[in-house]
Structure 1
Amino acid sequence: MQKDHSGSAPSTPTSRIRHRRRSNEIPSDFSKLNGSHLLVDDKNKYRSMWIRAYSSLWMLACFACILYLGHLYIWAMVVIIQIFMARELFNLRIRAHEGRRAHEDRRLPGFRLLNWHFFFTAMLFVYGRILNQQLVNTVTSEKIFYKLVSSLIKYQMVICYFLYIAGFVWFILTLKKKMYKYQFGQYAWTHMILIVVFTQSSFTVANIFEGIFWFLLPASLIAVNDVAAYIFGFFFGRTPLIKLSPKKTWEGFLGASVVTVVFAFVVANILGRFQWLTCPRQDLSTGWLQCDPGPLFKLEYYSLPRWVPQWFPWTEMSILPVQWHALCLGLFASIIAPFGGFFASGLKRAFKIKDFGDSIPGHGGFTDRMDCQMVMAIFAYIYHQSFIVPQSYPVEVLLNQITRNLSFEEQKALYMKLGQIFQERLLLKS
């Protein structure tokens, strides 16, 4: 092999592609960061901080507007975020191996379309299962439309199954010789993305319709924890926390934990005073809600020790019972949820990229912002269903199910059976 004037062998096209670095690829010394290279000593940290702060303010303003519009618009926001996350994850393998993956994708026309077919099939299945009752309650005014929606809900699982089978057959028919390994790898990667994206989003949407409070509080805890960890690490961080995220420090982690728990207790008291945040949504309308807030959102008053009025002008303190539950959410958000971010950092290291995308300046992609939210949304739903939702059903809910799902003859039979039960109990008491 001939050498150039510098004495080294000329690079081949394959080696040039292999060593080409994208703008968001991890630098060669990224994994060698130590205490002296943490964010506290970064010369460009102020520029990075202002870009991040500017983007955060824009995101906060947009989020506040959507939050004001109500449940349906928040759901739409979650769907849009899902689509961006799926796009970033679908592109991840191609970005990590740009030349080879792009060449192989060109040899498989329609393969990307197949990925999105599975995505929207999963979306139809998940949201159809979660929001079927809200959908029925929305179309009660028109009988024909009600019957159509009821039929779609009844056969929704069958429809989704055959849509999935259609994609499965489509995948089999597109298999090409010498590309089996790549195609099956993409097929498995697509299903992993569906699990990651829709597991999180399904619990998020369920939380929204249980009451915006149960969506807003967990989401805000993750945001506050992330900002507090950044600020404490920015000014005080010197001790590395975990090798997967070299810029994460113990100082940032501990400082953010304290701030998050205090924030959870205080903000739960503020959010819990608004009925439109605490009332569950039973349909898909956009009107403001009014309901009985329940005992969790009714103030309880506690007398303060005698020495407190000597220093502060308070003799008692008002606390919502839900604030004690908020402490549990705050502890989880500050101690366990960050491991969702560590998982995402490990995944990015596996593919040798710095961020999942560049949609949000200073933050990366949507997946970079939602990594901890995925863990938190699942915990918030499980906690709510286990410790908040009463085990008995309200009479209104039972009557609604009876009138909608039972025929007139079945309702009459139920009425007669309940009459017999009441008569037997009266005879026992007498």
Structure 2
Amino acid sequence: MRIRTFSSLWMLGSVILILYLGHLYICAMVVVIQIFMASELFHLLRRAHEDKRLPGFKFINWHFFFTAMLYVYGRILSQQLVNTVTSDKFFYKLVSGLIKYQMVICYFAYIAGMMWFILSLKKKMYKYQFGQYAWTHMILIVVFIQSSFTVANIFEGIFWFLLPASLIAVNDVAAYFCGFFFGKTPLIKLSPKKTREGFIGASVATIVSAFLLANILGRFQWLTCPRKDLSTGWLQCDPGPLFKPEYYTLHAWIPQWFPWKEISVLPVQWHALCLGLFASIIAPFGGFFASGFKRAFKIKDFGDIIPGHGGFTDRMDCQMVMAIFAYIYHQSFIIPQTNTVEMILDQIVRNLSFEDQEVLYLKLGQIFQ
């Protein structure tokens, strides 16, 4: 417990520093974690005696990895990149061209990797090599689905990244301590150390924490404002109705000695309860899935880079499920479903060249006249 606690404090301090630095640094942290996760998973099915006879096979894996990274992050961050370089016409044209032909570049990079793989096939090792090829693609799907949704959440506002991630951490810590002190009844065979008492105690702690954390985090514009470019300055914006407090008068049956006669609640706190409910009941099954996976390969942890915790994949198993849900929930219940002026402007900047935007401006002027 001492080693685990020390590692947790070290990770917490590092994350707080990165959160202070801003959106771009948080995305860089996600990319670094993603690289470590891919490395741990790439090594999981490797066989030492066969790898020695397959020089360059690791490079093929990483070629596919960085090709997928170029495609996924290129699609997600294209709008922010355009907004960053709009003041310079040369860089605007360069970036617009790269975005326009990004799919072609990524496609031929993938084809080059496939040809490289085919040319590397060796007799009596076809089954192993094709197994590794399929394993590589499964890793890319698992890692990049999670990370792409995480990065998208960050640019919608650090709040939508920090709150879900914090709820998973709270649930994990609460389950550990509730299970350690009160656990008696086993919960699931895949994880013999998990108990029903720990699961129930962690669920209550997570839902309560979701309501309270949303109130605290929702009062900082730095956390709630969306980032529209790749700059690193502090943000100021209209917080919007979700982050404007509503006041509720307490009933007369509240004791007279109670100091507060009314409480303020941010509307986003009611949404946070849904996130907390998911983090406490559904997200732990990501951990159970990972436990079953490790049992299938007879390993204790995916890695050993974090003392007392294992590898990054061990820490991110539930985060992967939570990040996807947070993005889907935000898109479905937070963002207005009807088109707004801001959404239309984003589409214009993303899909029209500078010259076409000028033409649109002139035609709109004619319509208004």
TM-score range, shorter chain: over 0.9
Counterparts of 1:53 and 1:77, CA distance in 2: 21
Residue ranges of structure 2 left out of the alignment (5+ in a row)? none
Residue identity opposite 1:134 in structure 2: Q
Structure with higher Rg: it is 1
Match of 2:332 in 1: 386
Match of 2:90 in 1: 144
- The question of 1:326 aligning with 2:278 is answered no
Match of 2:33 in 1: 81
* 2:233 match: secondary structure: coil
- The question of 1:193 aligning with 2:145 is answered no
- The question of 1:62 aligning with 2:14 is answered yes
Task: Pick one of 217, 220, 229 that aligns with 1:271.
Answer: 217
Residue identity opposite 1:226 in structure 2: D
Match of 1:132 in 2: 78
Task: Pick one of 194, 214, 218 that aligns with 1:248.
Answer: 194
- 1:77-96: per-residue Cα shift (whole Å, max 9, x none)? 000000100010011113xx
Residue identity opposite 1:154 in structure 2: K
Do 1:225 and 1:260's aligned partners in 2 also have CA atoms closer than 8 Å? yes
Do 1:356 and 1:364's aligned partners in 2 also have CA atoms closer than 8 Å? yes
Deviation at 1:51, TM superposition (A): 1.0
- The question of 1:72 aligning with 2:24 is answered yes
Residue identity opposite 1:88 in structure 2: E
Counterparts of 1:106 and 1:86, CA distance in 2: 20
Deviation at 1:390, TM superposition (A): 1.2
Task: Pick one of 302, 306, 322 that aligns with 1:360.
Answer: 306
Count of paired positions: 368
Task: Pick one of 42, 48, 51 that aligns with 1:90.
Answer: 42
Match of 1:51 in 2: 3
Counterparts of 2:183 and 2:257, CA distance in 1: 35
Q: Stretches of 4+ moved more than 2 A in 1?
A: 391-404, 406-420
Match of 2:51 in 1: 105
- The question of 1:335 aligning with 2:269 is answered no
Counterparts of 1:410 and 1:123, CA distance in 2: 30
* 2:256 match: secondary structure: helix
Spell out the pairing of 1:178-217 with structure 2 (5 A cutoff): 178-217=124-163
Do 2:79 and 2:346's aligned partners in 1 also have CA atoms closer than 8 Å? no
Match of 2:248 in 1: 302
Do 1:134 and 1:284's aligned partners in 2 also have CA atoms closer than 8 Å? yes
Residue identity opposite 2:330 in structure 1: H
Distance 1:232 1:184, change over 3 A: same
Distance 1:399 1:188, change over 3 A: closer
Counterparts of 2:159 and 2:255, CA distance in 1: 33
Do 1:123 and 1:198's aligned partners in 2 also have CA atoms closer than 8 Å? yes
Do 2:70 and 2:106's aligned partners in 1 also have CA atoms closer than 8 Å? yes
Counterparts of 2:5 and 2:360, CA distance in 1: 64
* 1:131 match: secondary structure: helix
Q: TM-score, normalised by structure 2?
A: 0.96
Distance 1:409 1:141, change over 3 A: closer
RMSD: 1.6
Identity of aligned residues (%): 80
Counterparts of 1:401 and 1:125, CA distance in 2: 19
Match of 2:111 in 1: 165
* 2:28 match: secondary structure: helix
Deviation at 1:314, TM superposition (A): 1.2
Deviation at 1:410, TM superposition (A): 6.6
Match of 2:297 in 1: 351
Deviation at 1:372, TM superposition (A): 0.1
- 1:166-203: per-residue Cα shift (whole Å, max 9, x none)? 00111111111100000000001000100110010000
Do 1:403 and 1:411's aligned partners in 2 also have CA atoms closer than 8 Å? no
Spell out the pairing of 1:2-81 with structure 2 (5 A cutoff): 49-81=1-33
Q: TM-score, normalised by structure 1?
A: 0.83
Residue ranges of structure 1 left out of the alignment (5+ in a row)? 1-48, 95-100, 424-430
Deviation at 1:413, TM superposition (A): 5.8
Do 1:402 and 1:411's aligned partners in 2 also have CA atoms closer than 8 Å? no
Distance 1:258 1:181, change over 3 A: same
Counterparts of 2:196 and 2:236, CA distance in 1: 44
Do 2:64 and 2:110's aligned partners in 1 also have CA atoms closer than 8 Å? yes
